[in-house]
């Protein structure tokens, strides 16, 4: 590979490597942590271009993939973990992640079948037209398996524990964007590596996911996301290194802006109900009149998140007819 990757030293003992992805979000940032145990935070998607960029980036810092001793996944989305097995095989590195990442990383067949059933039932309940249900296979299945391969997590991480072999780093569980989303916090210089929890230029989508215990009660992802943001607002943080884009240096202002924008969208959703009841799908087409056609999974997640906010505040009523939920004021 002749391309110069130009990794950046962004803080003491932290290097950032920008890895290309085939997704609309653009490149993903992975981070190399120096110390007693050379640690890679995220790895990028399973593409040859991503592999070559990662290899070249490490080389420009002074390392090889074989030098990596451990890998930490911020969450289970394929742009962040797709290359995991290839890096593990090359390096022998141990892998750490939140327990919620395990069935996705392992590509557990039973879980993936349940995953498909969950979304078929949910989208039907949302009033999604039958011809649009193909998004379940396209987005939730093919994307999930095309850009990653089956791998494993060697040890699971919990909230507020220290990172194995790098005790200056603390794990924070910050769900919402993903049920497995964790952030890493170094109190000594108030640095956070946040994956997709906090991003400078975009508000992280609070993706819908099935409950892993198959209880039928789906996680309230937007409410989780808001709560995790509020937790981070209480932290003394100088700089946040994100999974995409540039660092965040004004985290409290950014968090307040995100929380306020949430309520603006929630108010907008309420306004669409003033002329009568609507399904979640109908509300999605009104909230995202252009984006829903190309990004139904993302936009429907967003809509249901705002419906959840209204539900817990008892600001909307819900009726079920023929297996479809209808919302009204």
CATH of domain 8-106+144-259: 3.60.15.10
pLDDT of 131 above 60: yes
Pair of tokens at residue 295: 């990004």
Round the average pLDDT of the chain to a whole number and report it: 94
Count the Cβ atoms, other than its own, within 10 Å of residue 262.
21
Q: Residues 284-306: what's their mean pLDDT?
A: 94
Count the Cβ atoms, other than its own, within 10 Å of residue 123.
23
Using alpha carbons, select from 101, 104, 122 the residue that is nearest to residue 179.
101
Q: To 5 degrees, how large is the angle CA 258–CA 284–CA 311?
A: 65
Percent of the chain at pLDDT exceeding 90:
88
pLDDT of 37 above 80: yes
Pair of tokens at residue 200: 């400078």
Contact 97, 156 (CB under 8 A): yes
pLDDT tens for each residue of 68-126: 999 999 999 999 999 999 999 999 999 999 999 999 999 999 998 899 899 999 999 99
Which pTM does this prediction carry? 0.95
Which of the four pLDDT bands, split at 50, 70 and 90, describes residue 5?
confident
What is the per-residue burial (b if ≥16 Cβ within 10 Å, else e) of 81-104? bbbbbbbbeebebbbbbbebbbbb
Which stretch of 33-42, 122-131, 137-146 has the lowest confidence by average pLDDT? 137-146
- CA-CA distance, 89 to 150, in Å (whole number)? 12
Pair of tokens at residue 311: 């539900």
What values do phi and psi take at 25, rounded to 5?
A: -65, -20
Determine whether 218 is exposed, middle or buried from the number of CB atoms within 10 Å of its CB (0-12, 13-18, 19+): middle
Which of the four pLDDT bands, split at 50, 70 and 90, describes residue 319?
very high
- CA-CA distance, 329 to 307, in Å (whole number)? 11
Q: Residues 127-147: what's their mean pLDDT?
A: 79
pLDDT of 139 above 80: no
**Residue 208, pLDDT score:** 94
Which of the four pLDDT bands, split at 50, 70 and 90, describes residue 288?
very high
Contact 194, 243 (CB under 8 A): yes
**Residue 284, pLDDT score:** 97
- CA-CA distance, 182 to 101, in Å (whole number)? 10
- CA-CA distance, 181 to 163, in Å (whole number)? 15
**Residue 141, pLDDT score:** 61
pLDDT tens for each residue of 163-198: 999 999 999 999 999 999 999 999 999 999 999 999
- CA-CA distance, 246 to 128, in Å (whole number)? 36
């Amino acid at each position: 590979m002749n391309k110069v990757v130009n990794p950046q030293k962004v803080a003491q003992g932290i290097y950032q490597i920008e890895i290309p992805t085939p997704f609309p979000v653009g490149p993903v940032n992975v981070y190399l942590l120096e110390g007693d145990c050379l640690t890679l935070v995220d790895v990028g998607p399973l593409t040859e271009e991503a592999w070559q960029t990662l290899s070249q980036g490490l080389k420009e810092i002074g390392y090889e993939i074989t030098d990596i001793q451990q890998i930490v996944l911020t969450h289970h989305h394929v742009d962040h973990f797709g290359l995991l097995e290839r890096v593990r095989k090359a390096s022998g590195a141990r892998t750490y992640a939140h327990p919620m990442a395990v069935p996705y990383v392992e590509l557990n067949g039973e879980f993936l079948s349940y995953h498909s059933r969950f979304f078929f039932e949910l989208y039907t309940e949302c009033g999604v037209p039958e011809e649009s249900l193909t998004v379940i296979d396209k987005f939730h299945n093919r994307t999930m398996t095309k850009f990653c391969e089956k791998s494993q997590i060697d040890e699971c991480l919990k909230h507020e524990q220290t990172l194995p072999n790098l005790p200056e780093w603390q794990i924070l569980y910050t769900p919402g964007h993903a049920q497995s989303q964790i952030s890493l916090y170094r109190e000594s210089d108030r640095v956070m590596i946040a994956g997709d929890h906090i991003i400078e230029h975009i508000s992280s989508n609070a993706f819908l996911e099935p409950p892993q215990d198959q209880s039928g009660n789906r996680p309230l992802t937007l409410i989780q996301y808001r709560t995790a943001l509020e937790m981070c607002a209480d932290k003394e943080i100088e700089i946040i290194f994100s999974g995409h884009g540039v660092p965040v240096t004004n985290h409290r202002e950014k968090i307040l802006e995100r929380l306020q924008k949430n309520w603006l969208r929630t108010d907008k959703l309420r306004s669409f109900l003033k002329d009568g009841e609507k399904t979640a799908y109908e509300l999605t087409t009104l909230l995202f009149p252009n984006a829903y056609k190309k990004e139904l999974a993302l936009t429907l997640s967003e809509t249901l998140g705002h419906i959840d906010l209204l539900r817990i505040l008892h600001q909307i009523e819900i009726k079920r007819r023929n297996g479809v939920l209808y919302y009204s004021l």
